[in-house]
């Protein structure tokens, strides 16, 4: 799913495990439910979202001691699945993560960059993303502690959908079909993804968007 996978895609860059600040009991199940299918028809209010990585290590061969630490991910909005197999979503997300980069990784050949310059590099890498990207790296001992954040990531989408076993396949208007697993338990919907190998030395990622009606 393109729009409903917005939080799924977050895992490519922002790994870890967290949830929104919502106090709804459904939020406590984030990341703890397997795909189970169910009746998805209705309008669902997103109450939380979370992503989990299989490891804190990035397995970056160019910087083997680089690590991922605290992550914060929030999501809000609605997802509507109609009985006529059309859908619409309106989702806003914000996220942040701390990445620890050893200063030994900042030297390549005869060139060494500072933590400030690393901030600029991270910011440039995120410049093509939606929302307002920000990256701040500060020197701490032998590391650069980098906080990377994106806020105001908004997605508005309509299209058609089909169901297959425990998966929902959405096709946005004028777009390409994509799919994700789901589970309806009472008045709670989980849009879940299995652990995916993201490549490039990144850990495998699992995500969950939780909504109620």
For residue 2, the model assigns a pLDDT of 42
Least confident of 39-48, 116-125, 130-139, 151-160: 130-139
Task: List pLDDT tens digits, range 77-120.
Answer: 999 999 999 999 999 887 777 888 899 989 888 889 999 998 88
Domain annotation covers residue 100: yes
Q: Which are the contacts of 13, defined by CB distance < 8 A and separation ≥ 6?
A: 97, 126, 148
Does this model's pTM top 0.75? My answer is no
Give strand ranges (E) for 35-185: 42-53, 67-81, 86-102, 107-108, 111-112, 132-140, 143-164, 167-172, 178-185
The answer to whether residues 149 and 96 touch, using CB atoms and an 8 Å cutoff, is yes
The answer to whether residues 156 and 2 touch, using CB atoms and an 8 Å cutoff, is no
Domain annotation covers residue 172: yes
Q: How far is CA 97 from CA 25, 59, 137, 173, in A?
A: 25, 17, 12, 32
The answer to whether residues 97 and 11 touch, using CB atoms and an 8 Å cutoff, is no
Residue-number span of the structural domain to which 177 is assigned: 6-113+153-212
Phi and psi for 177 in degrees, rounded to 5?
Answer: -65, 145
3-state secondary structure of 119: helix
**Domain count of the fold of the chain:** 1
- 120 secondary structure, DSSP code: H
Dist. CA 75–CA 63, nearest whole Å: 31
Domain annotation covers residue 176: yes
For residue 126, the model assigns a pLDDT of 65
For residue 24, the model assigns a pLDDT of 47
Q: Return the exposure string of 197-212: e unless at least 16 CB atoms fall within 10 Å of the residue's CB, then b.
A: ebeeebbebbbbbbbb
Domain annotation covers residue 136: no
Domain annotation covers residue 145: no
The answer to whether residues 91 and 152 touch, using CB atoms and an 8 Å cutoff, is no
Mean pLDDT in the chain? 77
**Tokens linked to 135:** 């990256």
Domain annotation covers residue 95: yes
């Amino acid at each position: 799913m393109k729009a409903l996978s917005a939080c799924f895609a977050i895992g490519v860059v922002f790994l870890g495990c967290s949830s929104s600040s919502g106090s709804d009991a459904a939020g406590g199940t984030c990341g703890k439910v397997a795909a189970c299918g169910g009746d998805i028809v209705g309008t669902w209010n997103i109450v939380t979202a979370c992503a989990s990585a299989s490891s804190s290590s990035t397995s970056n061969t160019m910087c083997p001691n680089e690590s991922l630490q605290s992550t914060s991910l929030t999501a809000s909005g609605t997802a509507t699945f109609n009985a006529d197999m059309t859908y619409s979503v309106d989702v806003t997300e914000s996220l942040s993560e701390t990445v620890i980069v050893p200063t030994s990784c900042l030297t390549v050949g005869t060139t060494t960059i500072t933590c400030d310059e690393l901030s600029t590099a991270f910011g440039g890498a995120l410049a093509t993303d939606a929302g307002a990207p920000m990256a701040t790296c500060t020197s701490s001992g032998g590391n650069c502690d980098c906080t990377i954040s994106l806020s105001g990531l908004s997605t508005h989408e309509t299209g058609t959908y089909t169901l297959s076993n425990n998966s929902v396949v959405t096709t946005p208007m004028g777009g390409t079909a994509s799919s994700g697993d789901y589970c309806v338990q009472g008045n709670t919907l989980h849009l879940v993804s299995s652990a995916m190998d993201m490549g490039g030395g990144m850990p495998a990622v699992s995500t969950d968007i939780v909504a109620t009606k």
